[in-house]
């Protein structure tokens, strides 16, 4: 059976749509098969809540009197990029506060960065703002030093170039020293294995070939309504896939947009990755319209059918060797112990499955209430056959270290 | 009744001798071993919660000290800020005493303070700084 987004939206408006979470869909498909499931279910809701470094916010502060064209601007001592018009800036999640000792004494704590400023803004806290300028005839002010709150500025638009990674590595450390990574603290001699995906609940793992998702897809972002604006950076749809269409390694990504003023500190949190840097933990939920049997089958995926590569972060990842130590399913990871090179290794997640489930439930509630209509993608994201090749920097000139 | 969490250090030469069981047998104290690392020919460390009658407790402690065990109170506590915790699980693999664990059904991260030995390993592992040390 095939349906259109418009038909499903009509049902949502009449509160007749059948909505299930991706977790529930796995059992529906297992029980009834994909064909029946596609007749029964209209929308499958997904969710993920993990650190997403490529996140940030466009801000417009409003003008001072006399006016200023900000050349450098700092929010709680964290620099926001101001190479835009006069009082526009972009605050990135991983920017560190001035004076942070970074990794000078390893491992650095990275206790306050852009992600934390974003969380503080959403929490309604006062933020110190310091700006400097070179002064022009139309913008004579040379510096500004004051305080702002989110509600006092014109816009705060979250626009994150890469969120909701479709699948990710499982990180381990085979060396004899602890390594501090964006995948957390990895103990030596395969002391632990860290992974970071909501697996069967993850948005792009339920629409692995991006048949429904693209610019215009309405999503849950940080507790508010947001949109997919484009494919994310490093979108790499051409990777190897299983028979179920699910990529075996990091593949698709989303660029997402939403109004920071509507978001909640429960769903956007600053993060400090010891020895690595600051980041932002972001809640993303995408409702997938069950347009046909194929999509129903995709949404029926469960953790047993999703595999990720086990990668050594002491050498193979940093040196870019491309070597992996095998693969593991999210079902195994979620049980808390995996086997790597014959050794039993405790596994931990960096993304919260508990919260991912809450997000999927919340989106389900919104759709069921009729308050959240599906946004039809104006075009879908570049898919597996789009011939996108994944690029690297050319060899170093010899002057870099 | 007195109940306290204490850290015991056993010098090398004491490691092979039975000491702790006397706390029960002769001083009528009960204890719950929270962490122990005692290997032959190495200095040993034990974190325990010791409980008993006030005067028995005093006597027991005196006995330990006399036997050559040095001890100090476990005065630090690790607390979880539930507003900050996202229930990701990054802390779980760092916790040696299983005070932090995953509820495999709900995915929630449990923190059982009575199992916590205040080793602080969870603190740098937590991305949202939800695990805090209190003195």
Q: What is the ipTM of this complex?
A: 0.93
Residues of B in contact with A347 (CB under 8 A): 93
Can you give the pLDDT at residue B135? 66
In angstroms, what separates the C-alpha of B78 from chain A's closest C-alpha?
18
Return d(Cα A363, Cα A206) in angstroms, integer.
15
pLDDT at A401: 81
Asked if B90 has any chain A CB less than 8 Å from its own CB, the reply is yes
Q: How far apart are CA A286 and CA A364, in angstroms?
A: 10
CA distance A123 to chain B (A): 12
Q: Which of A109, A185, A350 sits opposite B88 (nearest CB)?
A: A350
Contact of A149 with A250, CB cutoff 8 Å: no
**Tokens encoding A65:** 């009197």
Residues in chain B with pLDDT values less than 50: none
- The answer to whether A273 contacts B127, with C-beta atoms less than 8 Å apart, is yes
Q: Which residues of B touch A185 (CB under 8 A)?
A: 90, 94, 124-125
Are A354 and B108 in contact (CB < 8 Å)? yes
Distance from CA of B102 to the nearest CA of A (A): 8
The per-residue pLDDT of chain B, averaged, comes to 89
- Do residues A26 and A397 make contact, with C-beta atoms less than 8 angstroms apart? no
Mutating which of B123, B127, B128, B129 best tests the A interface, going by the most A Cβ atoms within 10 A? B127
Contact between A348 and B128 using a beta-carbon 8 Å cutoff: no
User: What is the C-alpha separation between B63 and B50, in angstroms, rounded?
Assistant: 14
Angle separating helix axes A353-369 and A22-40, nearest 10 degrees: 40
Q: Nearest residue on chain B to A279, judged by CA atoms?
A: B127
Per-residue pLDDT, B84: 97
CB A78 within 8 A of CB A114: yes
Strand blocks (E) in chain B:
2-10, 30-37, 44-52, 70-73, 77-80, 100-102, 109-111, 131-134
* Cα A59–Cα A60–Cα A64 angle in degrees, nearest 5: 135
User: Per the CB < 8 Å rule, is A355 touching B86?
Assistant: yes
Query: Which residues of A form the catalytic set?
Result: 138
Taking an 8 Å cut-off on Cβ atoms, the answer to whether A352 and B86 are in contact is: yes
Helix (H/G/I), strand (E/B), else coil: B126: coil
Rounded distance between C-alpha atoms, residue A62 and residue A258, angstroms: 20
- Among the listed residues A93, A50, A52, the one whose alpha carbon sits nearest the alpha carbon of residue A75: A93
Residue A208: what pLDDT? 98
Report phi then psi at A179, rounded to 5. -115, 145
Residues of A in contact with B90 (CB under 8 A): 184-185, 194, 348-350
List of domains in chain B? 2-73 (3.30.70.260), 77-134 (3.30.70.20)
All residues of chain A having their beta carbon less than 8 Å from the beta carbon of residue B129 are: 111, 272
- Its pTM stands at 0.88
Helical H segments across B1-135, by residue range: 21-25, 54-66, 122-125
Smallest Cα distance from A271 to chain B, Å: 5
Residues 12-31 of A with CB under 8 A from B: none
Q: For A227, how many CA atoms within 13 A lie in the half-sphere containing its CB?
A: 13
Q: Which of A185, A272, A357 sits opposite B129 (nearest CB)?
A: A272
Cβ atoms within 10 Å of A46's Cβ, excluding its own: 31
d(CA A35, CA A24): 16
A-B CB pairs within 8 A amount to 75
Q: Given an 8 Å threshold on Cβ–Cβ distance, is A335 in contact with B104?
A: yes
Query: Is there a contact between A354 and B106 if contact means CB atoms under 8 Å apart?
Result: yes
Within 170-189 of A, beta carbons closer than 8 Å to B belong to: 184-185, 187
Residues of chain B in contact with residue A354, where contact means CB-CB under 8 angstroms, are 87, 106-109
Q: Do A274 and B106 touch (CB under 8 A)?
A: no
Q: Which chain A residues in 352-371 lie under 8 Å from chain B, judged by CB atoms? A: 352-355, 357
Contact assessment for residue A280 and residue A48, using Cβ atoms and an 8 Å cutoff: no
DSSP classification of residue B93: G
Q: How far apart are CA B19 and CA B70, in angstroms?
A: 13
Show residues of chain B in contact with A355, CB under 8 Å. Answer: 86-87
Of A232, A357, A356, A249, give the one whose Cα is nearest residue A309.
A249
What token pair was written down for B73? 């109170």
Low-confidence ranges of chain A (pLDDT < 50): none
* A352 with B87: Cβ contact below 8 A: yes
3-state DSSP assignment of residue B51:
strand
Is there a contact between A335 and B104 (Cβ–Cβ < 8 Å)? Answer: yes
Q: Chain B interface, mutation test: which of A178, A184, A199, A268, most B Cβ atoms within 10 Å?
A: A184
Q: What is the DSSP letter of B35?
A: E
Which residues, at least 6 apart from A260, have a Cβ–Cβ distance to it below 8 Å?
A57, A118, A121, A122, A150, A156, A157, A158, A222
**Three-class secondary structure of residue B39 per DSSP:** coil
Token digits of residue A208:
């692995």
Say if the Cβ atoms of A269 and B109 lie within 8 Å. Answer: no
């Amino acid at each position: 059976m095939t349906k259109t987004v418009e038909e499903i939206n009509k049902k949502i408006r009449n509160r007749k749509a059948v909505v299930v979470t991706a977790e529930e869909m796995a059992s529906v498909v297992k029980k009834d098969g994909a064909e029946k499931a596609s007749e029964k279910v209209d929308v499958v809701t997904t969710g993920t809540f993990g650190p997403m470094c490529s996140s940030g916010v466009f801000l417009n502060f409003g003008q001072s009197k006399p006016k200023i064209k900000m050349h450098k601007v700092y929010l709680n001592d964290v620099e926001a990029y101001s190479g835009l018009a006069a009082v526009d800036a972009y605050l990135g999640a991983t920017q560190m506060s001035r004076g942070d000792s970074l990794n000078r004494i390893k491992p650095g704590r990275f206790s306050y960065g852009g992600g934390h400023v974003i969380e503080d803004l959403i929490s309604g806290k006062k933020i110190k703002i310091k700006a400097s300028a070179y002064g022009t005839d139309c913008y004579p002010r040379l510096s500004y030093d004051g305080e702002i709150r989110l509600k006092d500025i014109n816009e705060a638009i979250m626009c994150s170039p890469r969120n909701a990674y479709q699948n990710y590595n499982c990180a381990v450390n085979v060396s004899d020293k602890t390594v501090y990574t964006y995948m957390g603290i990895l103990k030596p001699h395969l002391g632990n294995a860290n992974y970071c995906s909501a697996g069967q609940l993850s948005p792009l793992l339920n629409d692995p070939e991006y048949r429904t998702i693209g610019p215009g897809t309405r999503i849950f972002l940080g507790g508010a309504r947001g949109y997919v604006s484009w494919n994310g950076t490093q979108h790499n749809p051409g990777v190897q896939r299983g028979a179920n269409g699910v990529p075996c390694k990091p593949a698709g990504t989303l660029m997402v947009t939403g109004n920071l003023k509507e978001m909640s500190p429960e769903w956007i949190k600053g993060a400090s990755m010891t020895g690595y840097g600051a980041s932002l933990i972001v809640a993303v939920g995408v409702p997938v319209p069950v347009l046909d049997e194929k999509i129903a089958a995709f949404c029926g995926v469960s953790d047993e059918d999703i595999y990720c590569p086990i990668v050594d972060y002491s050498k193979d990842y940093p040196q870019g060797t491309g070597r992996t130590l095998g693969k593991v399913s999210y079902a195994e990871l979620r049980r808390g112990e995996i086997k790597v090179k014959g050794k039993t290794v405790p596994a931990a997640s960096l993304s919260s499955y508990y919260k991912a489930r809450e997000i999927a439930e919340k989106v389900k509630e919104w759709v069921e209430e009729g308050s959240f209509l599906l946004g039809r993608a104006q075009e879908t994201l570049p898919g597996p056959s789009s011939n996108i090749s994944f690029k690297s920097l050319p060899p170093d000139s010899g002057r870099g270290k | 009744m007195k109940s306290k969490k204490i850290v015991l250090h056993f010098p090398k030469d004491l490691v092979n001798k039975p000491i702790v069981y006397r706390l029960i047998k002769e001083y009528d104290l009960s204890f719950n071993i929270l962490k122990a690392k005692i290997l032959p020919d190495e200095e040993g460390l034990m974190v325990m919660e010791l409980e008993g009658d006030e005067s028995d407790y005093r006597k027991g402690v005196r006995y330990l000290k006399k036997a050559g065990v040095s001890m100090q109170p476990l005065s630090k506590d690790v607390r979880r800020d539930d507003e900050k915790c996202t229930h990701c699980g990054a802390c779980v693999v760092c916790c040696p005493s299983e005070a932090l664990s995953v509820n495999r059904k709900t995915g929630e991260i449990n923190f059982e303070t009575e199992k916590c030995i205040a080793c602080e390993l969870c603190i740098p592992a937590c991305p949202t700084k939800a695990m805090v040390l209190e003195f």
